[in-house]
Amino acid sequence: MIKLPTDFSLYQVDALELLRGLPDASVDLIVTDPAYQSLEKHRVDKNGKNRGRIPRLVTWFSIFPNERFDELFAEAYRVLKKGGHLYMFSDQETMFIAKPKGEAVGFKLWKPIVWDKKYMGMGCHYRARCEFVLFFEKGKRKLNNLGTPDVLKVPRILGGYPTEKPVALMEILISQSSNPGDVVLDPFCGSGSVGVAALKLGRRFIGGDTSEVAIKLSMGRLNDALATSVQNSDAA
Ligand SMILES: C[S@@+](CC[C@H](N)C(=O)[O-])C[C@H]1O[C@@H](n2cnc3c(N)ncnc32)[C@H](O)[C@@H]1O
């Protein structure tokens, strides 16, 4: 069984294995950004070949197949405390696959929150400027700021870890659905943006990723975030 951290812990492990190792009702909040299957279409053409014109994506991370979402939701539901929230990043294809699977295990999809990245990205058939964050609830818990809109405007990250999300965006979600000292989990942590936001806000963090590069990067960023939050509390 995984022990809950006093500040943070990181594991290079499959997301389901990490979840299976956590006790029932041990986590206050899950904020996560899985490597969902439809991301693959940005990387390979219809014949399965890497798209040479986007060379950076050739070294992209591996994908988490849609069939595994049933167990992912079941485990997420088990480890969350009653009233806990799950925020899951998604595109328009994955949203329709995730909703019934999440609701089958007991979550309620309250609504997709729109992340407005403020600048257009790739594509030409309405160029992409937004992404969705599916807001699932395990029972009822009041949000901490009832005046927050369902469109969050935070500029995208350019040139970071593939699909890296801004810490400022994660701070909004974490502030809304947890309190200082709470445990925040991200089993697909990538570069560690959820963890950095969690530590900045005085929460504890558990992160996992199958990629060695991601875990090394997260470790560096989380140690920096922890050192900064300790300095800030010493100065106060
Ligand atoms: C979309 S990225 C997360 C990016 C992250 N939100 C950030 O801001 O950097 C998804 C991550 O899931 C990881 N991943 C893929 N399959 C996984 C699995 N089965 N278990 C855990 N992590 C996995 C990838 O290595 C990748 O780092």
* pTM, to two decimals: 0.93
Helix (H, G, I), strand (E, B) or coil at 106: coil
Q: How far apart are CA 87 and CA 27, in angstroms?
A: 13
- Report whether residue 209 contacts ligand 1, using a CB cutoff of 6 Å: yes
- Report whether residue 166 contacts ligand 1, using a CB cutoff of 6 Å: no
Using CA positions, which residue lies closest to atom 7 of ligand 1?
A: 164
Model confidence at 152: pLDDT above 70: yes
Mean pLDDT of 82-108: 97
What is the pLDDT, as a whole number, of residue 48?
A: 58
| Tokens encoding 33 | 């950004």
Helix (H, G, I), strand (E, B) or coil at 18: helix
| Tokens encoding 66 | 């849609």
- Report whether residue 84 contacts ligand 1, using a CB cutoff of 6 Å: no
Chain CA centroid to CA 181, Å: 19
What is the pLDDT, as a whole number, of residue 28?
A: 98
Domain layout of the chain by residue ranges? 8-235
Instruction: Give the model's confidence band at 232: pLDDT under 50 very low, under 70 low, under 90 confident, else very high.
Output: confident
Going from the Cα of 88 to the center of ligand 1, the distance in angstroms, rounded, reads 12
- Report whether residue 32 contacts ligand 1, using a CB cutoff of 6 Å: no
Q: Which residues pair with 31 in a beta bridge?
A: 87
CA proximity to 141, closest of 106, 176, 102, 100: 176
Going from the Cα of 236 to the center of ligand 1, the distance in angstroms, rounded, reads 36
Closest ligand 1 atom to Cα of 209: 22
Q: How far apart are CA 231 and CA 7, in angstroms?
A: 15
- Give pLDDT tens digits for 42-58: 665 556 555 544 444 44
> What average pLDDT does the structure give for the chain?
91
Mean pLDDT of 179-207: 98
CA proximity to 182, closest of 205, 212, 165, 161: 205
**Range with lowest mean pLDDT among 47-61, 70-84, 192-206:** 47-61
Mean pLDDT of 212-232: 92
Topology adopted by domain 8-235: Rossmann fold (3.40.50)
pLDDT > 90 fraction of the chain, expressed in percent and rounded: 76
Instruction: Give the model's confidence band at 122: pLDDT under 50 very low, under 70 low, under 90 confident, else very high.
Output: confident
Strand 108-116 with 130-137, pairing: antiparallel
Helix (H, G, I), strand (E, B) or coil at 205: strand
Closest ligand 1 atom to Cα of 64: 16
- Give pLDDT tens digits for 131-143: 999 999 999 999 9
